[in-house]
Amino acid sequence: MSVVDGVRSPRRDRTLRLVAPVAVGLLGLAVWQLLVGVVGVSAYLLPSPSEIAAEWTANAGPIAEAAWITGVNAVLGLLVGSAVGVALAAVAARLRWIDQMLAPVVAGLAVVPIVALAPVLNSMFGADSEIGRRTIAAIASFVPVFLNTLRGLRQTTPLHRDLMRSYAATGSQTLRTLTLPTAAPYVLTGLRVASSLAVISALVAEYFGGPRGGLGAFISTSAATSAYARAWAYVGASIVLGLGLYLVTVALERLVTRLLTGGAR
């Protein structure tokens, strides 16, 4: 991509931003296909992209169904975990002792291994319940949302607080005009991180018992029956699901930023 006219127009920049990653992705797939087809890496180690694509089309129905099950678990976990995270962060930002009480609990939650928790929760809620997986997704989402929100709520500067005090602003006015707008970008960053974690943990939790049917369950079943290309197709669907949820949070971030700057006019 040579720069002919020296100055790039914004439109060309945008096209480039879309085209470049797609080109890199296609190139990667081509090299992959070449490795498997020509060099002869065994299908056992690495199925070719064309095989995976064939499995995807052959199993489009079950894949969509599995993605829906895992997706619902991830989204419900994300919503509950984020809501609790924001609420507790609001309390912790206000009361120092709550913060001190929660800090070790949150540090503990942050390092809880899904591998250890999933079987316990699955047997706790019964083998036919999705609640264990949703709980795991919620715990995974809670941590980044809580930490980022708490940080965001503490970002108001002494200068701005003095200013609000000099205006004799009420508590709720200060919250609305200063504290929340300051914290919003941090909350949204937390949500963005949590969205990926929610999908990953909902998926991984399926490896350890509970009802069959989600993406994680199918990945492990396919791999166990040596259907590697199919397992990869489900992995592909998991990536699509994770990216989808991530893009939703990015869109939300843009929306809030626009509301914040536009709404104050």
Partner 1 sequence: MSETINGDGVAVAANGVGKTFDTRSGEVQALTGVDLRVAAGEFVSLIGPSGCGKSTLMRLLADLDSPSEGTIEVFGKTPAQARRDQDYGIAFQQAGLLPWRTVAANIGLPLELHGTDRAARAARVAELAELVGLSDFADRYPDQLSGGMQQRVAIARSLAEQPRLLLMDEPFGALDEMTRERMQAELSRIVGESGAAVVFVTHSIPEAVFLSDRVVVMSPRPGRITGVVDIGIGRDVPRDESLRETTAFFAKVTEVREALHGTPVTASGREGR
166 contacts partner 1 (rule: CB under 8 A) = yes
Residues 6+ away with beta carbon under 8 Å from 247? none
| Smaller CB separation from partner 1, 124 or 259 | 259
Residue 167 CB, shortest distance to partner 1, in Å, is 5
Q: What is the DSSP string of 151-200?
A: HHHT---HHHHHHHHHTT--HHHHIIIIIHHHHHHHHHHHHHHHHHHHHH
Query: Residue 37, Cβ neighbours under 10 Å: how many?
Result: 12
Stretch that binds partner 1, among 62-70, 108-116, 154-162, 238-246 (CB under 8 A): 154-162
Residue 185 CB, shortest distance to partner 1, in Å, is 9
Residue 257 CB, shortest distance to partner 1, in Å, is 8
Binding residues for partner 1, total number by CB under 8 A: 18
Residue 253 CB, shortest distance to partner 1, in Å, is 14
Residue 165 CB, shortest distance to partner 1, in Å, is 6
With tokens 């989600």, the residue in question is: 214
Q: Which of 160, 175, 213, 220 binds partner 1 (CB under 8 A)?
A: 160
DSSP 209: S
Restricted to residues 169-228, the positions that interact with partner 1 (CB under 8 A) are 169, 173, 177-178, 181
The DSSP element (H or E) to which 86 belongs, if any, is helix 60-94
Restricted to residues 244-263, the positions that interact with partner 1 (CB under 8 A) are 260-261
Residue 59 CB, shortest distance to partner 1, in Å, is 47
Restricted to residues 92-151, the positions that interact with partner 1 (CB under 8 A) are none
Q: What are the tokens at 86?
A: 């924001």
Contact 190, 145 (CB under 8 A): yes
Q: How far apart are the first and last CA of the chain?
A: 41
Q: Of 112, 105, 177, 180, which Cα lies nearest the Cα of 147?
A: 105
| Smaller CB separation from partner 1, 106 or 188 | 188
Query: What is each CA distance from 120 to 115, 132, 174, 210, in whole angstroms?
Result: 9, 9, 44, 11
Residue 11 CB, shortest distance to partner 1, in Å, is 23
| Smaller CB separation from partner 1, 15 or 173 | 173
265 contacts partner 1 (rule: CB under 8 A) = yes
Q: What are the tokens at 39?
A: 């060099």
| Smaller CB separation from partner 1, 23 or 163 | 163
**Footprint of partner 1 on this chain (CB under 8 A)?**
157, 159-160, 162-163, 165-169, 173, 177-178, 181, 260-261, 264-265
